[in-house]
Amino acid sequence: MVTNASPSESALSKINGLSQMAIILPQAVAPATATALFAYSIKSQIIRGHLIWAILFSIGTLCFFSIDQV
Q: Confirm whether pTM is higher than 0.75.
A: no
Cβ-proximal residues to 15 (8 Å cutoff; 6+ apart), any chain: 2, 5, 6
**Cα gap 17→12, rounded to integer Å:** 9
Segments forming the whole domain that contains residue 22: 2-67
Please answer whether residues 2 and 16 qualify as being in contact, where contact means their C-beta atoms are separated by less than 8 angstroms.
Answer: yes
Question: Tens digits of per-residue pLDDT, 12-69?
Answer: 888 888 888 999 999 999 999 989 989 999 999 989 989 989 999 999 999 898 887 6
pLDDT above 70: residue 70:
no
**Count: domains in the chain:** 1
Exposed e or buried b for every residue in 42-70, given b needs 16+ CB within 10 A?
Answer: eeeeeeeeebbeeeeeeeeeeeeeeeeee
Give the model's pLDDT for residue 69: 62
Per-residue pLDDT band at 1 (split at 50, 70, 90): low
